[in-house]
């Protein structure tokens, strides 16, 4: 059994920021204690761009709880969505109250499970699948295989969207991108420079001969590395993510 001391060792406070760190200095998740629902980290705001493709997702499945930033944001600001979070580490789940993660209810649930095993049993269930599961060494190998990505595609409903957080400096990055492209039949895009070393990949379960609004938008982003032709550089995309999050929070 993991002790409360070991739980606490994952926590690091600097001023008004509480961080989850598997190793000192390597921030997995961060919360502003004065505004717990704010998405502090740039990559988290970038992942929320899934709303552009799926504005009314009914079921969101998340791989990796961390400090719960994405989970509690979606729970509060996407009230029409049911949210299932898969987390392998019991010590991380034990910190949910420290990070103001809401309790389980009829539309929010955290499951202590190996995501690779769980995904293999899921079929035609999720509208959006957020892959953000990391350990001390980065992305676990079990969450990067061709089989896992095939299971993810099967877990999605038709026109469902996968969003994967991958470090650009991961030596497997080109291979992972190739696997996603193959499993999702080329229906991939990224917003250039939106989250620094975190590359956020959007992959759509779509039929190329049956265009949908999500597929049309994905193709547009893929062509320009952003929404606006000629303005695909990082600053514009980062402003887009900030605008989207602010709009969801009702602060615009």
Residue 208 confidence (pLDDT): 75
The bridge status of strand 156-167 relative to strand 198-204 is antiparallel
Residue 232 confidence (pLDDT): 63
**Cross-strand pairs, 17:** 14, 32
132 is catalytic: yes
pLDDT band at 231 (very low <50, low <70, confident <90, very high): low
Beta strands across the sheet bearing 59-63: 108-112, 82-87, 59-63, 126-131, 156-167, 198-204, 188-190
Q: Confirm if 208 and 187 have CB atoms less than 8 A apart.
A: yes
Residue 3 confidence (pLDDT): 39
Q: Confirm if 110 and 85 have CB atoms less than 8 A apart.
A: yes
Neighbouring C-beta atoms of residue 231, cutoff 10 Å = 13
How far apart CA 92 and CA 187 sit, in angstroms, is 33
Q: What angle do CA 142, 129, 186 make, to 5 degrees?
A: 80
Query: Is the predicted pLDDT of residue 186 greater than 60, yes or no?
Result: yes
| Nearest alpha-carbon partner for 206 in 161, 142, 251 | 161
What is the rounded average pLDDT for all residues in the chain?
92
b/e code 118-144 from CB counts within 10 Å (16+ = b): bbbebeebbbbbbbbbbeeeebbeebb
Query: Is the predicted pLDDT of residue 44 greater than 50, yes or no?
Result: yes
The residue behind tokens 């580490």 is: 89
Instruction: Check 132, 135, 159, 170 and give the catalytic one.
Output: 132
Query: Is the predicted pLDDT of residue 4 greater than 60, yes or no?
Result: no
pLDDT, mean of residues 141-163: 97
Residue 8 confidence (pLDDT): 54
pLDDT, mean of residues 112-141: 93
Q: What is the pTM of this model?
A: 0.93
Least confident of 123-132, 133-142, 195-204, 233-242: 133-142
How far apart CA 236 and CA 224 sit, in angstroms, is 12
| Nearest alpha-carbon partner for 88 in 62, 57, 53 | 62
Neighbouring C-beta atoms of residue 8, cutoff 10 Å = 13
How far apart CA 126 and CA 181 sit, in angstroms, is 19
pLDDT band at 251 (very low <50, low <70, confident <90, very high): low
Q: What are 17-39's pLDDT values in tens digits?
A: 999 988 777 788 999 999 999 99
Least confident of 8-12, 44-48, 214-218, 229-233: 229-233
């Amino acid at each position: 059994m993991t002790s409360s001391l070991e739980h606490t060792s994952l926590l690091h406070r600097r001023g008004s920021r509480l961080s989850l760190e598997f190793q000192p200095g390597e921030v997995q998740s961060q919360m502003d204690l004065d505004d717990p629902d704010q998405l502090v980290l740039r990559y988290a705001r970038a992942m929320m761009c899934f709303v552009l493709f799926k504005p009314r997702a009914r079921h969101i499945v998340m791989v990796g709880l961390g400090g719960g930033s994405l989970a509690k944001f979606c729970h509060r600001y996407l009230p029409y969505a049911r949210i299932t979070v898969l987390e392998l580490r019991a010590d991380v789940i034990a910190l949910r109250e420290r990070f103001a993660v809401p309790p389980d209810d009829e539309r929010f649930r955290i499951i202590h499970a190996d995501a690779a095993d769980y995904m293999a049993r899921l079929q035609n269930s999720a509208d959006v699948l957020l892959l953000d599961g990391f350990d001390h060494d980065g992305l676990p190998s079990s969450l990067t295989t061709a089989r896992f990505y095939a299971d993810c595609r099967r877990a999605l409903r038709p026109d469902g969207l996968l969003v994967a957080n991958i470090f650009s400096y991961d030596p497997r990055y080109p291979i992972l991108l190739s696997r996603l492209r193959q499993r999702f039949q080329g229906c991939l895009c990224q917003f250039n420079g939106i989250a620094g070393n975190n590359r956020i990949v959007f992959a759509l379960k779509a039929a190329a001969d049956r265009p949908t609004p999500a597929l049309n938008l994905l193709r547009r982003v893929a062509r320009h590395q952003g929404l606006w032709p000629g303005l695909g550089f990082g600053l514009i995309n980062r402003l887009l993510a900030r605008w989207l999050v602010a709009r969801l929070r009702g602060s615009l």
